[in-house]
Amino acid sequence: MRILLSVVFLVLSGFLLFPNAATAQVKLPGGISMPGGGGGGGSKGGKGGALLDDSTKTIYGPKTTLHFYENDIINNRDSVRYLVDTLLPDFNRWTPVDRSYGKLVDLGNTGTATRNLFFQPRQDIGAQLGMRAYDPYAIQEDEIQYIDTHSQYTDLTYRSGGRKTTLGKFGYSQNVNPRFNFGMQGQRLTSNKQYGIYGVNAAALLGQNWTFLLQGHYFSKDKKYLILAHYSHLNQKVREQGGVIPDTSSTGDGIYTYDGLARISDDANSWERRHVFHIYQQYKLANGFQVFAQTDYKSTINRYTDKAAERGVLYGVYPASRYDTSDIRQDIFYKLFDNKIGIKGTFSGFNYRAYVRQRLYGMNVNGQLPNTTGHLSMTYRTGFKFDNIVGLWLSYYLKDSTQHVTAEAEHLIGRDFKLKGEIDTKWIKAGYQSIFTSPDLIAQNYIGNNFDWQNNFKLTGTNTIYGSLPLKTRNIQLTPEVQYNLVNNYVYYDTASIPRQLGSVFNLLKLGTTANIHMNRWNLSGMAYYTINSNEDIIRIPKYFASGQITFDFTYAKVLFVQVGFSAMYRSSYFADAYMPITQQFHLQDSFEVKQYVVADLFANIRIKRIRLAFKMAHVNQGIGGPKGYYQTPGYLGMRRAFSFGINWPMFD
């Protein structure tokens, strides 16, 4: 850490003392031809040589390294390309909860289980495993960047936060030739416990996250054929704590101190590994007509162990053990093969896509059974199930590519279906979705040392109407929003962590607005929501929520771009869902009200040429005019005041 800070200090000193030493960016003559860059960027001269200006300065940079997403290709937007992000706004936000502006909830510390604060209707049909607590730490398929670069591109990121939370990220990409690119990305995220460390020899490490991505794409010489492919991996391990036992012997408000013990032992661990193999292929048969294939293979292994289960039972984290009172052990395996084949293209101003889709999936649960103490037995197997799905997607662009009308339909033969329509213009965005989905596999069948259920739940139906109205002036943009959900046959986990299905209908109405205000060097951005819930006994959402930040931007010595700011997040009191680590599910509880609270941060983002730095004091208001802490999830304390530092260094040659 000292070495890294020394390097940063030297970099800062060099640019401040010698501001004229910065190399000016020069635009590429004639722009960039897509797809394909100028080659690998390693040789000099010739077709694949380095790009030079008249002063022999290299001009590789963000404008010579572009990227696109698979959705752009699928939706017939092949020419769309994006620049590398070198901007300062939101660079201070780097944990999943912080990046979501507080709309995501964890167990009080980075690397732990998460859930959405607001109700989110499903977007995909077909049965799913239903273990989503670590989704925000995995690489999301729709966020994978397929890169086209004129040079070798390396991206380095390092973050250090409170309780020794650290993140290291490495990315590399290179064009083998103008039509073929490959790249890789690796990330390591760790966090330490805030409480529950029993002694000097006890384990302080809380969460560990490894992710890895290998991706590439290829365009044929005549541009008729293309292939995109990637492999992504998640390895997530967490020492579960079950929440804190408040230290009521301390002075002041003892329930918010960080000196208490954990409710379960150091021997409790969740460990999840995911493998995703993905290939997208497309071939142009004629103008406006292509055939495509999208293939996925996904594997998930989830393991939970606790070699001192009596402590968790004693403090009410687990129900009583059914077979082995001292040891909990289970393995859950899930595999999915998903293949989509269809046609797509453009016709008379319409973009269209029609396809058939096959899903082959299965789940196995290995747990404890009577007379198998210390050993695992096959307790439940779904067998492989096969789904046939047909789908259609249409889009019509209005006056320009930013305004369009879309409609889509998808039907799982004999069961699930989805209908959605949306209009998106510069005056209004509005849509309607009706989706009926199969219940999660984990909610249907599970057998283990502490739980046993077999259910035959019906389809869950959600009808959603949403809309937003952008109101713009020269410096102000306000966007009022509304979302209405009518939910039928909702599946939830009750106060005993058992899945149930509500046979009646309830509705949720979320009203709010987002705001962006720019006044000279001052910038304000944020959001606020009010939720009306017709069934608070089944689904718990805070009635009031607000999150935002205000920043001031200025330049020093012509090369040092600085943004200083203040951010805050507020949510009203509510009986938030508790967490059951064995099944990785959040469930209802009626005994612990998570009190209203404001979490505020002070931060500064700095850019020197292409290097970005972030400095933040998180939870700066801890103990000021209020309690000494707050709870994110019942029993789980939110992060205390802590300083964090980050650096991002993209290199283009």
Residues 6+ apart with CB under 8 A from 3: none
What are 256-270's pLDDT values in tens digits? 777 788 999 888 999
In 10 A of CB 241, how many CB atoms?
Answer: 27
The answer, yes or no, to whether residue 1 has pLDDT greater than 80, is no
This prediction has a pTM of 0.88
Residues 6+ apart with CB under 8 A from 71: 142
- DSSP for 330-399? EEEEEEEEEEEEEEEEEETTEEEEEEEEEEEEEEEEEE--TT-TT--EEEEE---EEEEEEEEEEEEE-S
SS3 4: helix
SS3 452: strand
Give the pLDDT confidence score for residue 188 in this predicted structure.
Answer: 97
What are 324-382's pLDDT values in tens digits? 888 899 999 999 999 999 999 998 888 999 999 999 999 999 887 765 555 666 677 88
> CA–CA separation, 527 vs 518, rounded Å?
15
Give the pLDDT confidence score for residue 200 in this predicted structure.
Answer: 52
Give the pLDDT confidence score for residue 61 in this predicted structure.
Answer: 84
Q: Where does the pLDDT of residue 621 fall: very low under 50, low under 70, confident under 90, or very high at 90 and above?
A: very high
Q: What is the mean pLDDT of residues 611-634?
A: 91
Give the pLDDT confidence score for residue 253 in this predicted structure.
Answer: 60
SS3 234: strand
Q: Write out the two tokens for 198.
A: 């029993």
Sort 251 into a burial class: Cβ within 10 Å, 0-12 / 13-18 / 19+.
Answer: exposed
* Residue 243 to residues 40, 240, 265, 413, 535, Cα–Cα distance (Å): 51, 9, 11, 44, 27
SS3 41: coil
Q: Where does the pLDDT of residue 56 fall: very low under 50, low under 70, confident under 90, or very high at 90 and above?
A: very low
What are 199-242's pLDDT values in tens digits? 555 678 999 999 999 999 999 999 899 999 999 999 999 999 99
Q: Write out the two tokens for 317.
A: 């984290």
Q: What is the mean pLDDT of residues 114-134?
A: 95
The answer, yes or no, to whether residue 54 has pLDDT greater than 50, is no
> CA–CA separation, 374 vs 325, rounded Å?
11
- Indicate the pairing of strand 166-177 with strand 328-347: unpaired
> CA–CA separation, 383 vs 365, rounded Å?
11
> CA–CA separation, 257 vs 246, rounded Å?
7
> Is residue 394 within 8 Å of residue 358, measured between CB atoms?
no
Longest dimension (CA), the chain: 81
> Is residue 543 within 8 Å of residue 519, measured between CB atoms?
no
What are 501-552's pLDDT values in tens digits? 999 999 999 999 999 999 999 999 999 999 999 999 999 999 999 999 999 9
- Ordered domains of the chain (ranges, CATH): 2-651 (2.40.170.20)
Q: Give the torsion sign (CA, 516, 423, 79, 141).
A: positive
Give the end-to-end CA distance of the chain in Å, rounded to a whole number.
26
Between 39 and 641, the more confident residue is 641
Which residues is 236 bridged to in the sheet?
A: 209, 272
> Is residue 568 within 8 Å of residue 599, measured between CB atoms?
yes
> Is residue 637 within 8 Å of residue 108, measured between CB atoms?
yes
Give the pLDDT confidence score for residue 57 in this predicted structure.
Answer: 55
Give the pLDDT confidence score for residue 25 in this predicted structure.
Answer: 34
> Is residue 126 within 8 Å of residue 416, measured between CB atoms?
yes
What are 577-592's pLDDT values in tens digits? 999 999 999 999 999 9
> CA–CA separation, 279 vs 293, rounded Å?
8
Q: Where does the pLDDT of residue 41 fall: very low under 50, low under 70, confident under 90, or very high at 90 and above?
A: very low
Give the pLDDT confidence score for residue 259 in this predicted structure.
Answer: 78
The answer, yes or no, to whether residue 58 has pLDDT greater than 60, is no
> CA–CA separation, 360 vs 369, rounded Å?
28
- Chain mean pLDDT for the chain: 87
> Is residue 302 within 8 Å of residue 272, measured between CB atoms?
yes
